Every structure is written in structure tokens, then in C-alpha cells.
Amino acid sequence: MEGKDDAVPTVAGAPLSEALFRAARVHRILAGSLLRNTGLYPGQELLMMHLWERGEQRQTDLIKTLGLDPSTVTKMLQRLEQSGFVTRKPSPNDRRAVVVSATRAGQALSDQVRQAWCDLEQVTAVGFTEAEYQQAMQVLARIEANLTTPPPIAGAADTTNTTA
């Protein structure tokens, strides 16, 4: 007998947000599992992919591209550097800037990481029709846009003075 007892409990009044949180959590867990043999942690592979595609970059550019907090990227780069996957050095053009590049060991991970992401994509989209896949991509793009666009501040639009 299926009923209310079988339903996944949700945070009061936020079922979409909770479903998105749960999906993102299990997606990240699976990504971590697929990446385990590379020596990378989830999130580090995205940084490495940017280096593989675009080559050497300033650390500030990586921060902007990834959309992460600077301290998060710094910690990520420290771990990658300790693992021998990246090097960081002062920019020859701007001593305040740090330039990041993938090492040979980091470059050697490229095929394995790309395969892990292909496997992750297959598992994530299993059973989807092409139309469902495209619809999911549109819905997720809209959610991302909603979350990255500052909400209007109540009362901010009314700037006229109604007193005479």
C-alpha cells in the first residue's frame, strides 16, 4: 500500500529545492566514485578541464570561470599542487598575479577524467528520450539563471514620492 508514508520527506514548503539538493548530492557522490582512481576530488576535475582546454591561466581567471569563492579555489590549487597535478608561479607580466598550469602528471589524467564524465553523463541521463534530455537541460538552465539573478528587493521599484 503506497501512500504518504512512502513519500520522501521534504523541507517545509520547498520540495523542488530539496529534490535539487538531493540530486546534486548523489551526483557529486557518484562523480567522486568515478574519479577515485584519478586522485582527484569532485570539483577538482572541472578546474583541470579548464586548464586542459585553455592552457595556462591566471588564478583570478580560474576563479571567475569556475564561479567559486577565491579561498575555495586557492585551497583546491594547493591540494592539486601537492599532488603534482598543477604548478603555480608568479606571472612574468604582473607580479601580483599567479599563473596556473597543468603538469605532465596533470595532463596524463585528461583521458581518464573525460571518460569518468562520459560515464557520469550516461548514468545521469539513463532512460531519457532526446526530448526529455533537452527539456531537463532547459529546466536546469532556468534554475541556474533563477539562482544567479538577484531577486528584486521588495519596495525598491517604487521610488516615487507620493506625498505632495
Q: Is the residue at 77 inside a domain?
A: yes
| Average pLDDT of the chain to the nearest whole number | 88
Predicted confidence (pLDDT) per residue in 79-101, tens digit: 999 999 999 999 888 888 999 99
Report residue 162's pLDDT band, with 50, 70 and 90 as the boundaries. very low
Number of separate domains in the chain: 1
User: 31 and 41 in contact (C-beta within 8 Å)?
Assistant: no
> What's the N-to-C CA distance of the chain in angstroms?
66
Euclidean distance between CA atoms 13 and 25, whole angstroms: 20
Q: Is the residue at 42 inside a domain?
A: yes
Euclidean distance between CA atoms 155 and 164, whole angstroms: 20
CATH number at residue 43: 1.10.10.10
Range of the domain at 55: 16-140
Predicted confidence (pLDDT) per residue in 112-139, tens digit: 999 999 999 999 999 999 999 999 999 9
Three cell numbers at 30?
557518484
